[in-house]
Amino acid sequence: MLKQIIKILSAAVIVMTFLAYLCPFVNPASFRWFAFFGTAFPWLLLANILLLVVWASRVHRFALYHLAILLFGWQHVTGFIGLNFSGDLAPENAITVATHNLGGFFRGIHLSEAEWEQIYVDYAQFLKKNGDPGILCTQESGRKFTRSVAEKMGYKHSFHLNRSGNAILSRYPVLRGGQVPFGQPENTSIWADLKIGDRTVRVYNVHLQSNKVTNETKRVIRDSDLQDKQTWRDINRVLRKVGGATSVRAGQAKKLRDLIAACPHPVILCGDFNDTPNSYVYSQLAENMQDTFRDTGLGLGTTFSGAVPFLRIDYILADPRMQPYSCKVLRGSASDHYAVVAKLGF
């Protein structure tokens, strides 16, 4: 009986994994529910590996089925797990870029000025220890926070907008900048042209539409009782919110892709996409761009540690005219997002 249950579970996992592979090709504006398979891919990947081990230990043919589905979607696997063992081969003149959603620093905490000052110092030391980036893109960051970090990091140039949670801090001169025209988004996305040597490079710092389901998800996880109707109402509310936000992000991604294609300068695209590499949104933005983690990263690439962990939703994508040398996900800061740092050159 147990063996039959595991067989059914294996079949279900394999089918859902295949559907996750199709997500980049399906616009969530047309089929909102389909995007959930892509979001669930990290857990489907883990389930495939565990079931592969179980069936292999029994020398059963189902092990081959799980191995086949993993190999079939190998490019999706490497979107979450970096397998580049060449190390950091960046030259001294490489450009070091970092992106970090700092919203987790500010949620639910009330600190004194002295305590905040220590946070500024600790965060600057954290950055200096991990690549000392020449360009830092932040999302959900307060103006005072970014100003203090800029002073401690030696960023003489910056671009941000009033009441915007995004900032581009730079050791390279800022020539011009603006807001990405997404209409009336809840999050802000900006761009700035930087003078790097004799080149102009456009940096996009984006924070695409948030799902805004953190509190509901925590409640479902904490108080889940599948016999309780309220639990299913909460689950349905989460799914509807995520589906609606995913549709909005799809439109934002297409507009951003068109802007990048029309840009006369090499582009670095940083930020919080709020979507995984198995998504339609990612497929639109990564088209004709290089994913620095996929190309040069090593280890687990997940960048979010919130209510729904194991998600990779923060990225640094580079223009094909640029050369990515390394990319690392930095764990250890107080935010619920991990910083991503990449080294690039021409």
Model confidence at 313: pLDDT above 90: yes
| Region 130-153 average pLDDT | 94
Domain boundaries, the chain: 2-77, 95-211+240-345
Which secondary-structure segment (H or E) carries 57?
Answer: helix 41-57
Sheet of 95-101: strand order equals: 157-160, 167-170, 135-139, 95-101, 339-345, 323-330
Q: In the 8-state DSSP scheme, what is residue 187? A: S
pTM of the model: 0.90
- Is the predicted pLDDT of residue 216 greater than 60, yes or no? no
**What is the DSSP code (8-state) at residue 337?**
B
- 20 phi and psi angles, rounded to 5 deg: -65, -35
Residue 146: name the closest of 173, 127, 174, 130 by CA.
Answer: 127
Reported confidence tier of residue 18, pLDDT bands at 50, 70, 90? very high
Whole-number pLDDT of residue 229: 64
Q: Would you state the pLDDT for residue 234?
A: 59
Q: What percent of the chain has pLDDT over 70?
A: 89
Answer yes or no: CATH 3.60.10.10 is held by domain 95-211+240-345: yes
Partners of 205 in beta bridges = 190, 270
How far apart are alpha carbons 294 and 290 in whole angstroms?
A: 8
Q: Does the pLDDT value for residue 236 go beyond 80?
A: no
